[in-house]
């Protein structure tokens, strides 16, 4: 066997806090079970473990630091021809296991790695397997928008389920209806609480939140409501894959600071054209925020030469080397979602409300 090998260490356990007991009344009827309280120290729960693939180990470590456990111990290597070899180095029988693995670049490699990890856990008799996929690859292929094309996001959902995943946790899916592609429970989280906190601290004057296309209006409207700011929309027409043409700005942006809200920045063509359209319409400054910094092809060069003040992204995907240079120059800022995902994982394990994290 050759190739990179990563060894990761695992959670210790934690006793369940607040075990639920059914008390009976004098009449003999059972009272409703109260919701279990979140444990203070999951490190003492022997039935809880987190493992991670190679896609974003730093994020997985941040999640474990928030929860108070260590990464599960495993061995990940590659054969000379590129085949993936994965082995668990500790017992997971009956354990509630979470796998942290965004399917980012190289997408196919990280997806197959995730499938193999799920299979290994299933064959090791894990009690429940939850895949934590902060960035869901193939999410943009969620419908037949042209003749004779695949609905790849549905295919990936089937692969994860068939491999043995019992539950899934995603963040800012490109299309919310992708949840319906799964026949297992899905928790869909949003990075907006982290980003709203950041922009509230910036306290940008005369702020207008902008959706770069009609498909992202709901996401931008939610953000605008939280920021108590007006909403504008950019009418965008896609002429080919990764090729867009900005048509018109709907809404008043003259003399205002604009904040473009999106889920993915890929080649940054849409982002840069949207920013220029806003400036041409009289905007004073333009900021941008997106959950997933894919940043393919000419994205770094486009952002660097654009008139964008700052691009804010999360660490759902690790920044590439070229993007790290822009981060050091202050053009890109990364906000961590490790705490948000960690709190969600805690809620799932302790069977408490996930939606309360957004209240």
Active site residues: 236
Do residues 192 and 218 touch, judged by C-beta distance below 8 A? Answer: no
Do residues 274 and 260 touch, judged by C-beta distance below 8 A? Answer: yes
Rounded (10°) angle between helices 152-163 and 107-123: 20
Distance separating alpha carbons of residues 130 and 44, to the nearest angstrom: 20
Dihedral sign for Cα atoms in the order 287, 290, 293, 298: negative
Category of 156 on φ-ψ map: left (φ > 0), alpha (ψ -120 to 50) or beta = alpha
Dihedral sign for Cα atoms in the order 68, 74, 79, 82: negative
Dihedral sign for Cα atoms in the order 131, 134, 138, 144: positive
Rg of the chain's alpha carbons, rounded to an integer? 22
Pull the structure tokens for residue 346. 């805690």
Do residues 346 and 50 touch, judged by C-beta distance below 8 A? Answer: no
* H-only helix segments in the chain: 57-67, 107-123, 152-163, 192-202, 217-227, 269-280, 299-305, 321-328, 338-350
């Amino acid at each position: 066997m050759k190739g990179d090998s990563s060894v990761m260490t695992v959670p210790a356990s934690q006793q369940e806090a607040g075990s639920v007991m059914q008390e009976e009344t004098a009449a003999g009827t059972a009272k409703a079970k109260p919701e279990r309280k979140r444990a203070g120290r999951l490190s003492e729960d022997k039935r809880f473990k987190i493992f991670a693939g190679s896609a974003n180990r730093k994020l997985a470590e941040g999640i474990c630091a928030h929860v108070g456990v260590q990464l599960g111990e495993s061995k990940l290597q590659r054969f000379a021809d590129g085949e993936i070899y994965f082995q668990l180095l500790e017992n997971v029988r009956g354990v509630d296991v979470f796998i942290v693995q965004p399917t980012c670049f190289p997408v196919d490699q990280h997806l197959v790695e995730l499938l193999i990890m799920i299979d290994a856990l299933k064959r090791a008799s894990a009690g429940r397997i939850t895949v934590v996929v902060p960035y869901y690859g193939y999410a943009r292929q969620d419908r037949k928008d042209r003749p004779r094309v695949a609905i790849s996001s549905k295919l990936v959902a089937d692969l994860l389920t068939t491999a043995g995943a019992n539950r899934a946790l995603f963040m800012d899916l490109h299309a919310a209806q992708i949840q319906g592609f799964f026949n297992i429970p899905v928790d869909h989280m949003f990075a907006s609480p982290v980003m709203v906190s950041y922009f509230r601290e910036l306290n940008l004057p005369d702020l207008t939140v902008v959706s770069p296309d009609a498909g992202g209006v709901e996401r931008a409207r939610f953000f605008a409501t939280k920021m108590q700011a007006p909403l504008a929309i950019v009418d965008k027409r896609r002429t080919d894959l990764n090729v867009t043409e900005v048509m018109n700005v709907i809404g008043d942006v003259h003399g205002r600071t604009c904040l473009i809200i999106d889920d993915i920045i890929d080649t940054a063509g849409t982002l840069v054209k949207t920013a220029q359209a806003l400036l041409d319409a009289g905007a004073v400054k333009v900021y941008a925020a997106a959950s997933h910094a894919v940043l393919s092809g000419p994205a770094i060069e486009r952002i660097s030469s654009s008139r964008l003040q700052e691009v804010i992204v999360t660490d759902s995907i690790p920044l590439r080397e070229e993007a790290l240079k822009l981060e050091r120059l202050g053009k890109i800022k990364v906000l961590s979602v490790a705490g948000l995902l960690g709190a969600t994982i805690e809620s799932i394990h302790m069977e408490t409300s996930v939606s309360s994290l957004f209240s």
